[in-house]
């Protein structure tokens, strides 16, 4: 009888050991829920198999599991950026966008992307959507290498090549140079060509679709936008469209049912109201003045950096007032001296502050709003049981000062500890 009890006890401990072997417990001092804009004190998160198994104030920590003490930290879901170009950098509009893709191979670009991806993960961005300018599907290779656990990196959703009317984002290339922009873009100039281009990027590995609609004097028509949307949505892909300014090309995209307008720096109030009505998100890429001056030092494209930055802030303010769904996206494509990619991305927070956006709304734009646009809200973007354990922590409260998220000191991605400097 005694022996049977000992055997039973041994088996029981072995079973508990097996159950808790891959489990980590986080003791959390302040838990931020960006979805509701609330903070809860003294919570416990149990992480198992890369997911949040349990979360709450009364969750019991099983004996023997690894415990991480975050009682002095502010803990929240990992950040998301819905508009990145991981494999692209060093843009100067003085020499032109073409200088990059004429001189750098896809292999070189993927290595740049890997470095940027690792840096952004350590800074707290656990998910990014990469929206083109990624050489010959370099971002697909980057995403796949991270997904195969060859490297640590954020979850990457990529659009692959950008679909655009003839010429991509190059204008007036002499005809004798040929269509070298096809290294980065797909020319699509009828509804059928747009449909085919959407199928092509999905075939080569795209998770989402990116069009450029107003880079030339000729714009996409309603029929062309509708073709992209119906083809993209049929394959479960959200459709994002680069609109630099606003006006008729933007109206066409909104009416055509795209999921997000990217940039939209000069969107008129009437179109912001239409976006609210149609449920079109704004990925606002609010370049700070120093960044505009960095990519366009001669003011060829943006004019006065100071004035343009002020217009961007004004548009963000108006978009919020109109009730448009705001999604954080940065569009960083160069590095100011001494700054790495995530530091450049986090500089955009200053624009959100200048527009008077409360920190809680900015955090929502960086988590739950982004997750919905990226169609991954059932997998990540919030801290609740069953979702991926993408968790970050800061030493100060970002709900009071959003700049606190520049000081991320703890990152967990899919349950794997990336850093803990608490
Ligand atoms: Zn961009």
- Percent of the chain scoring above 90 in pLDDT: 90
Please give the full DSSP string across 292-342, using - where no structure is assigned.
HHHH-TT-TTTS-HHHHHHHHHHHHHHHHHHTPPEE------S--TT--HH
**Nearest to 225, CA basis, from 201, 205, 197:** 197
Q: What is the mean pLDDT of residues 89-114?
A: 89
Residue 271 pLDDT: 98
Cβ within 8 Å of residue 114, ≥6 positions away: 142, 145, 151, 153
Task: Check whether 14 has a pLDDT greater than 90.
Answer: no
Distances (CA, A) of 200 to 96, 136, 161, 193, 393: 27, 12, 9, 10, 40
Residue 11 pLDDT: 56
Output the CA 162–ligand 1 centroid distance in Å. 10
Output the CA 85–ligand 1 centroid distance in Å. 7
Distances (CA, A) of 384 to 53, 177, 379: 8, 54, 10
At 142-155, the pLDDT tens digits run 999 999 999 999 99
Output the CA 69–ligand 1 centroid distance in Å. 39
Tokens of 248: 């008729």
Task: Check whether 45 has a pLDDT greater than 70.
Answer: yes
Output the CA 386–ligand 1 centroid distance in Å. 32
Output the CA 402–ligand 1 centroid distance in Å. 24
Residue 261 pLDDT: 98
- Residue 237 near residue 207, CB atoms below 8 Å: yes
Residue 93 pLDDT: 84
Residue 275 pLDDT: 98
Residue 103 pLDDT: 87
H/E element, 69:
strand 66-77
Output the CA 420–ligand 1 centroid distance in Å. 32
Output the CA 20–ligand 1 centroid distance in Å. 44
- Residue 173 near residue 124, CB atoms below 8 Å: no
Q: What is the mean pLDDT of residues 89-105?
A: 85
At 403-419, the pLDDT tens digits run 999 999 999 999 999 99
Output the CA 83–ligand 1 centroid distance in Å. 6
Output the CA 177–ligand 1 centroid distance in Å. 25
Output the CA 332–ligand 1 centroid distance in Å. 8
Cβ within 8 Å of residue 255, ≥6 positions away: 222, 225, 274, 278
Q: What is the mean pLDDT of residues 121-141?
A: 97
Mean pLDDT of the residues in the chain: 95
Please give the full DSSP string across 120-145, using - where no structure is assigned.
HHHTTEEEEEE-S--TTTHHHHHHHH
Q: What is the mean pLDDT of residues 51-74?
A: 97
Tokens of 28: 């959390």
SS3 content of the chain, % helix, strand, coil (to 5): 40, 20, 40
Of residues 13 and 112, more confidently modeled: 112
Output the CA 172–ligand 1 centroid distance in Å. 21
Distances (CA, A) of 420 to 27, 56, 104: 13, 22, 35
Output the CA 82–ligand 1 centroid distance in Å. 10
Output the CA 358–ligand 1 centroid distance in Å. 25
Please give the full DSSP string across 167-232, using - where no structure is assigned.
TTT-----GGG--GGGGTEEE--SHHHHHHHHHHHHHTT-SSEEEE-SSSSS---HHHHHHHHHHH
Angle at 137 between CA 416 and CA 80, to 5 degrees: 40
At 177-211, the pLDDT tens digits run 999 999 999 999 999 999 999 999 999 999 999 99
Is residue 238 helix, strand or coil? coil
pLDDT class for 97, splitting at 50, 70, 90?
confident
Output the CA 55–ligand 1 centroid distance in Å. 37
Residue 20 pLDDT: 57
Is residue 413 helix, strand or coil? strand
Output the CA 296–ligand 1 centroid distance in Å. 15
Which residues does residue 240 pair with via DSSP β-bridges, in sequence order?
210, 260
Output the CA 144–ligand 1 centroid distance in Å. 21
Output the CA 3–ligand 1 centroid distance in Å. 69
Q: What is the mean pLDDT of residues 162-177?
A: 94
Output the CA 409–ligand 1 centroid distance in Å. 28
Tokens of 333: 């494509």
Output the CA 331–ligand 1 centroid distance in Å. 5
Region of 317 on the Ramachandran plot (φ > 0 left; ψ -120 to 50 alpha; else beta): alpha
Output the CA 84–ligand 1 centroid distance in Å. 7
- Percent of the chain scoring above 70 in pLDDT: 95
CA 345 to centroid of chain Cα atoms: 10
Query: Within 10 Å of residue 217's Cβ, how many Cβ atoms?
Result: 7
Task: Check whether 389 has a pLDDT greater than 80.
Answer: yes
Lowest mean pLDDT among 69-73, 89-93, 171-175: 89-93
**pTM of structure:** 0.94
Long-range contacts of 139-147 (CB under 8 A, 24+ apart): 139/86, 139/87, 139/110, 139/113, 140/204, 140/205, 140/206, 141/106, 141/110, 142/86, 142/87, 142/110, 142/113, 142/114, 142/117, 143/205, 143/207, 144/205, 145/114, 146/117
Task: Check whether 18 has a pLDDT greater than 50.
Answer: no
Output the CA 185–ligand 1 centroid distance in Å. 13
Output the CA 131–ligand 1 centroid distance in Å. 6
- Residue 166 near residue 135, CB atoms below 8 Å: no
């Amino acid at each position: 009888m005694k022996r049977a009890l000992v055997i039973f006890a041994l088996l029981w401990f072995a079973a508990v050991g097996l159950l808790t072997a891959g489990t980590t417990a986080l003791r959390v001092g302040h838990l931020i829920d960006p979805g509701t804009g609330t903070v809860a004190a003294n919570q416990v998160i149990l992480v198992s198999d890369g997911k949040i198994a349990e979360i709450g104030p009364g969750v019991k920590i099983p004996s023997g599991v690894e415990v991480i003490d975050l009682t002095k930290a502010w803990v929240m879901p990992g950040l998301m950026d819905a508009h990145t170009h991981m494999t692209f950098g060093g843009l100067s509009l003085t020499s032109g966008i073409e200088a990059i893709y004429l001189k750098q191979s896809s292999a070189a670009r993927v290595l740049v992307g890997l470095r940027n991806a690792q840096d952004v993960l350590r800074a707290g961005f656990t998910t990014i959507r990469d929206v083109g300018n990624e050489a010959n599907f370099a971002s697909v290779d980057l995403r796949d290498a991270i997904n195969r656990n060859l490297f640590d990196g954020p979850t990457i959703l990529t659009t692959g090549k950008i679909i655009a009317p003839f010429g991509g984002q190059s204008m007036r290339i002499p005809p004798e140079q040929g269509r070298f922009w096809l290294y980065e873009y797909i020319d699509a100039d009828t509804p059928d060509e747009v449909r085919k281009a959407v199928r092509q990027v999905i075939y080569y590995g795209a998770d989402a679709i990116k069009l450029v609609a107003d880079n030339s004097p000729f714009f996409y028509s309603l029929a062309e936008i509708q073709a992209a949307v119906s083809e993209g949505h049929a394959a479960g892909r959200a459709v994002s469209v680069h609109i630099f300014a606003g006006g008729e090309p933007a109206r066409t995209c909104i009416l055509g049912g795209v999921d997000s307008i990217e940039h939209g720096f000069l969107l008129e109030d009437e179109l912001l109201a239409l976006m609210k009505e149609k449920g079109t998100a704004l990925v606002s890429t609010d370049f700070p003045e120093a960044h505009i001056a960095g990519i366009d030092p001669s003011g060829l494209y943006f004019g006065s950096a100071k004035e343009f930055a002020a217009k961007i802030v004004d548009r963000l303010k108006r978009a919020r007032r109109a009730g448009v769904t705001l999604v954080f996206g940065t569009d960083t494509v160069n590095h100011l001296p001494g700054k790495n990619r995530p530091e450049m991305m986090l500089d955009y927070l200053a624009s959100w502050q200048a527009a008077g956006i409360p920190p809680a709304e900015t955090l929502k734009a960086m988590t739950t709003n982004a997750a919905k646009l990226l169609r991954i809200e059932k997998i990540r973007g919030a801290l609740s049981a069953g979702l991926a354990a993408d968790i970050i922590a800061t030493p100060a409260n970002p709900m009071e000062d959003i700049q606190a998220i520049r000081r991320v000191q703890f990152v967990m991605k899919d349950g794997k500890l990336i850093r803990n400097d608490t």
